[in-house]
Amino acid sequence: MTQLNIAVVFGGPTQEHDVSVVSAQQLMDAADMRKLNIIPIYLDFEGRFMHGDRLRDLGAFRPRPGGLKQVQFAWGDNGPCLRHMDGSDFQNIDCVLPVFHGPFGEDGRIQGMMELLGIPVTGFNATNSAIAMRKDATKAIVKTVGVNVVDHVVANHATLQNPKALCQKVAQEIGYPAIVKPANLGSSIGVGIAKDDDTLIALVQAVLRQDGFALIEPKVQNLVEYNVALTFRDGQIYHSAIERPKSSADLLDFKEKYLASGDGSPPKKGGKLGNGPVPSQGMLSLTRDINPGIPAGLQARIYEYASAAFSVLGLRGAPRIDFMVDDKTGELWFNEINPIPGSYGFFLWEAAEPQLLFSELIQHLVEEAIGDSLKSFDDPVPQGAHLLPR
């Protein structure tokens, strides 16, 4: 069996660097080595692509390993490849599989770079990735296909020049308590609850030190969260198991989300083909209920909203869509879409019906990307538009 050469790219100069590293290790551990030759590529804090044997050792990241060599992606004589900085090709590749969370990776920048070079890349394309990372933009789009969303106010540095007007707008359109969060980051980084004007301005200022936009939304009463991942395979949309995150606090923040166990234990691996599913808890023992008991009507609406949002936002990859529910009224709202969820949501697919092992999910992502048309390197200008000599 001929192996495909897959460059798994992770890390990045982002607040979610560590989550990316952990997710990538889980994915590389779970890949079916009979079909895929995994080539780890680390994007460092300076924005350089690095390669080396130590990238497969999670213990070497403190926060990044040494002994790496800089490489670059290119189109060589035999198609997509990785090159040393002296210009020599050292590895042909068939596909790039990004494992990033947040800016500089999940937001379309890496995808756009690969598309420009003509290299197949898994998941959402550059445009859809960028849209998916702007929470206010995704809400506006999914609303057009009948998906329910909560109201919101967007703030930026210009808005903060008149803080009184911002507070008045929030009081009139949102009310307190209000949720303040970055518009472009994931993993619950920077999320807080504003209960008055002073805390609102302080939280917006804190968010704007990490992101260009702050999103302000009403705090949903009796909040219960439900998340579901999706893929498009064999001409139809498939849903993963539904998860219901647990939280002992008013808000599921970043540390609770990823470090709930508090014991520093390494992440568990997903099931491999031929070995059966391995019990898995995802990113560092996040506490969650998988396939919780929920009313059939609510489950059907979650699937309906998820399918509509997935269809209009990309219909590619394996994104996870997060929803909010008022547990007393049963009202359901779209919250956000994660183009590259932590651990690629493998624990949701292993608990799905039909079951999809992490190995199979990875294979699907790769085959989907390679199956798309490659960028043409022929002259793209039609004859009637020639203004320069050919």
Task: For residue 345, give the nearest of 324, 365, 370 by alpha carbon.
Answer: 365
Q: pLDDT: is 278 or 331 the higher one? A: 331
Question: Which pLDDT band, with edges at 50, 70 and 90, does 90 fall under?
Answer: confident
Question: Which pLDDT band, with edges at 50, 70 and 90, does 255 fall under?
Answer: low
pLDDT at 354: 93
User: Do 96 and 118 touch, CB atoms closer than 8 A?
Assistant: no
pLDDT at 136: 94
> DSSP letter at 356?
-
CATH 3.40.50.20: which residues of the chain?
A: 4-121
Q: What is the mean pLDDT of residues 167-193?
A: 87
Q: What fold is seen in the domain 132-148+222-369?
A: D-amino Acid Aminotransferase; Chain A, domain 1 (3.30.470)
User: Under CATH, which architecture does the 4-121 domain have?
Assistant: 3-Layer(aba) Sandwich (3.40)
Q: Tell whether the model's pLDDT for residue 328 goes beyond 80.
A: yes
Question: CA angle, corner 365, sides to 360 and 366, nearest 5?
Answer: 95
Question: Which pLDDT band, with edges at 50, 70 and 90, does 88 fall under?
Answer: confident
Structure tokens at 8: 């798994």
pLDDT at 257: 52
**In CATH, 153-218 is 3.30.1490.20:** yes
pLDDT at 61: 93
Task: For residue 139, give the nearest of 127, 125, 153, 126 by alpha carbon.
Answer: 153
Q: pLDDT: is 231 or 376 the higher one? A: 231
Task: For residue 191, give the nearest of 141, 250, 134, 133 by alpha carbon.
Answer: 250
Alpha carbons 228 and 254: distance in angstroms, whole number: 19
Q: What is the mean pLDDT of residues 174-178?
A: 95
Question: CA angle, corner 36, sides to 30 and 37, nearest 5?
Answer: 100
Q: pLDDT: is 372 or 306 the higher one? A: 306
Task: For residue 42, give the nearest of 149, 58, 184 by alpha carbon.
Answer: 58
User: Do 127 and 116 touch, CB atoms closer than 8 A?
Assistant: no
Q: pLDDT: is 268 or 367 the higher one? A: 367
Question: Which pLDDT band, with edges at 50, 70 and 90, does 210 fall under?
Answer: confident
Q: Tell whether the model's pLDDT for residue 286 goes beyond 70.
A: no
Q: What is the mean pLDDT of residues 197-222?
A: 94
Return the C-alpha torsion angle 10, 11, 17, 20, nearest 10. 20
CATH 3.30.1490.20: which residues of the chain?
A: 153-218
Please provide the average confidence, as pLDDT, over all residues in the chain. 88
Share of the chain above pLDDT 70, in %: 88
Question: Which pLDDT band, with edges at 50, 70 and 90, does 265 fall under?
Answer: very low
**pLDDT one-digit tens code per residue, 46-67:** 999 999 989 999 999 998 898 9
**pLDDT one-digit tens code per residue, 91-150:** 999 999 999 988 889 999 999 999 999 999 999 999 999 999 999 999 999 999 999 999
CATH 3.30.470.20: which residues of the chain?
A: 132-148+222-369
Q: Tell whether the model's pLDDT for residue 204 goes beyond 80.
A: yes
φ, ψ (nearest 5 deg) of residue 103: -65, 165
Of the listed ranges 168-177, 186-195, 309-318, 378-387, the least confidently predicted one is: 186-195
Q: pLDDT: is 266 or 149 the higher one? A: 149
Alpha carbons 257 and 283: distance in angstroms, whole number: 8
